[in-house]
Amino acid sequence: MRVKAIALTLVLFCVAALAQDKPRRLSTTIPDAEFPRLNADGSATFRVQADQAQKVQLLLELGQSTYDMTKGKDGYWEVTTKPLLPGFHYYAISVDGFASNDPGSRVFFAARKEVSGLEIPGPDQDFFAVKDVPHGTVRTEWYLSKTTGEIRRIFVYTPPGYDQSTARYPVLYLQHGYGEDEAGWSDQAHENFIPDNLIAAHKAAPRVIVNENGMTGVHFQPPPTPRPGATPNAPPPVRAVAQFFMNERYSAVDGVISHDLIPYIDEHFRTIPDREHRALAGLSMGGAQALRIGLKHLDEFAYLGAFSPAIDITDTTRDYDGALSDPAKINHQLRLLWIGIGTDDFLHAPVSESHQALEKAGIKHVWVESSGAHVWTVWRKYLADFAPRLFH
Amino acid sequence: MRVKAIALTLVLFCVAALAQDKPRRLSTTIPDAEFPRLNADGSATFRVQADQAQKVQLLLELGQSTYDMTKGKDGYWEVTTKPLLPGFHYYAISVDGFASNDPGSRVFFAARKEVSGLEIPGPDQDFFAVKDVPHGTVRTEWYLSKTTGEIRRIFVYTPPGYDQSTARYPVLYLQHGYGEDEAGWSDQAHENFIPDNLIAAHKAAPRVIVNENGMTGVHFQPPPTPRPGATPNAPPPVRAVAQFFMNERYSAVDGVISHDLIPYIDEHFRTIPDREHRALAGLSMGGAQALRIGLKHLDEFAYLGAFSPAIDITDTTRDYDGALSDPAKINHQLRLLWIGIGTDDFLHAPVSESHQALEKAGIKHVWVESSGAHVWTVWRKYLADFAPRLFH
């Protein structure tokens, strides 16, 4: 049944693509802007003005893939990429060494700045499509955190019908990754449309979703001196990254979530304020935070999710201050421990070995090894897999 | 009493400024970014990387004021401005003819793209400060518009206590200007903190505020051929702009607001669904829309606000299809007609002459002639003036 539906979607997508040999608007392109645009073969064309520039480049995926742009007779610089993977891509335009945004595209907060985004349509994106179903709301709220002394901004998704109902709801606390902020899950990942569609299809129970800023008090710096023989600006060693984030105590984030945010949410929203109706999940650094904070507060959370987490579990008797040392106990306490990683993710090795360490210790968990890299395209799929498993 | 309070605020601001001779972070600077930053004299310093660039410039106010940046020994380009007016400024960095964002600053949607923003602190900004008072919520909602056939995004401010109350509230529909979008009033103008503070000070009644996208179906193009003798890229004649926006029918926006949005809001929020509890206001093009749509639907709105509106009323017997032709009737129908313009606004002449035409015809209105140009710094002050006059 499901295979048939996927096959049908693929066929419809191909028919639509063939019928559509003209360039198309992208959802991330500014209304009325002509570029960037999508070509029939899945490539994209970019075009910018830079009259006196010597060298203009398109930097895809935060610089992992680079295209030289060429200056046309009309003075505009242009390039067409090879066909791109469906999903969400970051990119920048570099002009004579200045890397910044494409004025034709919307921006998203990533890598500690505002970055141009590109949504390439594809056959498996129906789960976050904007449909004519009842829609929930993403609320921007401000509350006082005693931990930091700040009025902090949070995002709170309330499901369709929340306002009209008197029911109480479970809550998923959902955290972004390093260098991003509390807007990531709604802006890049459609955290609202995913549960809207799941709820409309009766595949998940309505719940509240809360996003806080996980960068609070986190000051990770890549190792300052490159390893001998490493290329300049090479990424830091994967193990060092995974171990840094896994072993960080996140005391400021823990304080904000445990002492300030959860009481605020339980006071201001119609929640079911107990551990059986509370989940904590996150991606990358946020996945490390979900495990660190969640395993410390098992009285608060019964469901934990780690999406492409920066973790490197090697010794379940000692990691996390021994929180995993009694498998029978942790299996009893946690209703769900969900861990996923893409095979092209730079964290694939430490995460899959963490999974093996949990397996070996007999600690029950859902293990998802998907295709894909360390990107939002993967994380929104993970949310669609994770969300229906909560709050049964 | 009010003069004393202003004087005290000014003194405190000067003391704070003198005590603070180190550069300071701006609220619009990315967390952890060193630049742009504010100097003690109210100037700002900008710094970007552009290794191979020949010419780098800071373009303030969408290009109205330009600074050449200079390359230092460390290879970074830098400039310090003259002291800047307190308030919100747009800016861009131009590198060899490529105008884009400063990676150190947050962006805001303006002029049909994402533009770097700069919030310069000042003595008269307490009215939108983030204080420890009860805070309302800005909700991002999606609803189906029959007029356009789209699932459209709107922002809805609900006042503090809305969720806990069973009361019904009046509604202000508040529109942005040309080239902006429905996020402008919350992102650039703090439409939430302004009523939060007014409500906490018992200066305004709680109300719901709704923002839609007013660019729907509006395709204004400046006159394509420059007038004889005009400089290239000169702005179009002011009268032509004011007349275009005033006389535009806005049928798509009217349909969206009147047929789709108001029924949606009245169905999904606890509103008082009558004209005595409904206001329509906007800035620039949005001010023109507020008058055009509001005067057409006097059965729907009893309060209208036009902030620096693109209007040129010359004949009250004929303009707006005669909606103003019976002064006694319009004075009876409208509880408030509010019009404001800054003395440095490029629209000052047609708007102040529109005011004179209304005066001459005996059409009652609140007239505010303030300092300032065509900028958000002015419009958020106008909201603070307008909001307490509503819904008595």
Give the model's confidence band at B62: pLDDT under 50 very low, under 70 low, under 90 confident, else very high: confident
**Inter-chain contact B107–A97, Cβ cutoff 8 Å?**
no
Task: Taking residues B53-69, report their average pLDDT.
Answer: 94
Predicted confidence at residue A62, as pLDDT, reads 80
Separation in Å, CA of B35 to nearest CA in chain A? 12
Which one of A98, A101, A192 has the shortest CB-CB distance to B95? A98
Separation in Å, CA of B196 to nearest CA in chain A? 11
Predicted confidence at residue B22, as pLDDT, reads 83
Which one of B52, B139, B144 has the shortest CB-CB distance to A96? B52
> Do residues B310 and B240 touch, judged by C-beta distance below 8 A?
no
Which one of B56, B96, B139 has the shortest CB-CB distance to A137? B139
Q: Chain B interface, mutation test: which of A27, A34, A69, A140, most B Cβ atoms within 10 Å?
A: A140
Best CA proximity match to B267, nearest among B144, B137, B165: B144
pLDDT higher than threshold 70 for residue A2 = no
Residue of A nearest to B146 (CA): A132
The tens digit of pLDDT for each residue in B378-390 reads: 999 999 999 999 9
Question: Which spans in B49-203 are helix H?
Answer: 184-187, 193-200
No. of H helices and E strands in chain B? 10, 18
**Inter-chain contact B93–A103, Cβ cutoff 8 Å?**
no
Task: Taking residues A201-205, report their average pLDDT.
Answer: 98
CA angle A378, B116, B173 (to 5 degrees): 85
Chain B partners within 8 Å of A132 (Cβ): 144, 151
Chain A partners within 8 Å of B107 (Cβ): 101, 107, 114
> Do residues B61 and B89 touch, judged by C-beta distance below 8 A?
yes
Give the model's confidence band at A23: pLDDT under 50 very low, under 70 low, under 90 confident, else very high: confident
Question: Dihedral of the CA atoms A116, A121, A127, A133 (nearest 10)?
Answer: 90
Predicted confidence at residue A101, as pLDDT, reads 98
**Inter-chain contact B98–A48, Cβ cutoff 8 Å?**
yes
Separation in Å, CA of B244 to nearest CA in chain A? 20
**Inter-chain contact B98–A33, Cβ cutoff 8 Å?**
no
Chains A, B: CB contacts within 8 A come to 142
Q: Chain A interface, mutation test: which of B28, B34, B106, B114, most A Cβ atoms within 10 Å?
A: B114
Question: Which spans in chain B are helix H?
Answer: 2-19, 184-187, 193-200, 238-247, 251-254, 262-268, 285-296, 327-333, 348-361, 376-386
Predicted confidence at residue A235, as pLDDT, reads 61
Task: Taking residues B343-351, report their average pLDDT.
Answer: 97
Task: Taking residues A92-117, report their average pLDDT.
Answer: 97
Predicted confidence at residue A391, as pLDDT, reads 97
Helix/strand/coil for B104 = coil
% chain A with pLDDT above 70: 91
Predicted confidence at residue B222, as pLDDT, reads 66
Give the model's confidence band at B258: pLDDT under 50 very low, under 70 low, under 90 confident, else very high: very high
Mean pLDDT of chain A: 92
Separation in Å, CA of A157 to nearest CA in chain B? 9
Residue of A nearest to B137 (CA): A141
Tokens read off for A13: 């997508």
Predicted confidence at residue A239, as pLDDT, reads 93
pLDDT higher than threshold 90 for residue B225 = no
Rounded to two decimals, the ipTM of the complex is 0.92
Predicted confidence at residue B378, as pLDDT, reads 98
Task: Taking residues A294-314, report their average pLDDT.
Answer: 98
CA-based R_g, chain B, Å: 22
The tens digit of pLDDT for each residue in B96-137 reads: 999 999 999 999 999 999 999 999 999 999 999 999 999 999
Q: Which DSSP helix (H) or strand (E) runs through A355? A: helix A348-361
Predicted confidence at residue A223, as pLDDT, reads 55
C-alpha distances out from residue A191 to A50, A85, B7, B68, B389, Å: 37, 21, 47, 43, 38
